[in-house]
Amino acid sequence: MKRFLLLLLIATTLPSFTLPPTAPFNIVGKWKATEDGIAIILDFDKDGYAIMQKGKDVMGGKEFDVKGFKGSMTYKVDYTKEPDELDIVITNISTGERKVLKGIFKVMGDNQMKVLIGYDSVRPTNFDTPDAMIFTRVTK
């Protein structure tokens, strides 16, 4: 559950998406992983918005409302770092306050990637933890 909340927070706080024109990999699309038998979906759109879903719980996109919290969820990737970096930004629409979930990812082919999101706004530096998740592309 902590990983889902962290992923959710990351996805809602990024206001922009950066993709170098020569990048051979494009994160845009819908990605699926499983945690404790429950599907986790990350959906990155071309405009920089992200949606996260765990089971029936969904949040993210340009505007969402969860228990009275109105926010937006964006993402940003940096392919120039090693490992590649993924930030998910959750923005409170009312106050403009932002929370950035800092993560890393490793491309494992055009349709698979390993993702690890750090806690307390600290970006992980490697995948030496069982918390990393393997996501498979569902759609581009």
pLDDT in tens, 62-84: 999 999 999 999 999 999 999 99
Task: Report, as an integer, the average pLDDT of 12-36.
Answer: 71
We report the CATH number of the domain holding residue 117 as 2.40.128
Q: Is the pLDDT of residue 108 over 50?
A: yes
The confidence score (pLDDT) of residue 25 equals 86
The structural domain count of the chain equals: 1
* pLDDT classification of 139: cutoffs 50, 70, 90: very high
The confidence score (pLDDT) of residue 110 equals 84
Helix (H, G, I), strand (E, B) or coil at 61: coil
The confidence score (pLDDT) of residue 71 equals 97
CA dihedral of 96, 97, 103, 109, whole degrees rounded to 10: -20
Cβ–Cβ under 8 Å, residues 122 and 133: no
Q: Is the pLDDT of residue 125 over 90?
A: yes
Lowest mean pLDDT, pick from 19-28, 101-110, 114-123: 19-28
Q: Look up the domain containing 100 and give its range.
A: 2-139
Q: What is the CA radius of gyration of the chain?
A: 14
* pLDDT classification of 1: cutoffs 50, 70, 90: low
E-strand spans in 10-130?
A: 29-35, 38-44, 50-54, 57-60, 64-66, 69-78, 84-92, 98-107, 112-117
Q: Is the pLDDT of residue 50 over 70?
A: yes
32 vs 119: which has the higher pLDDT: 32
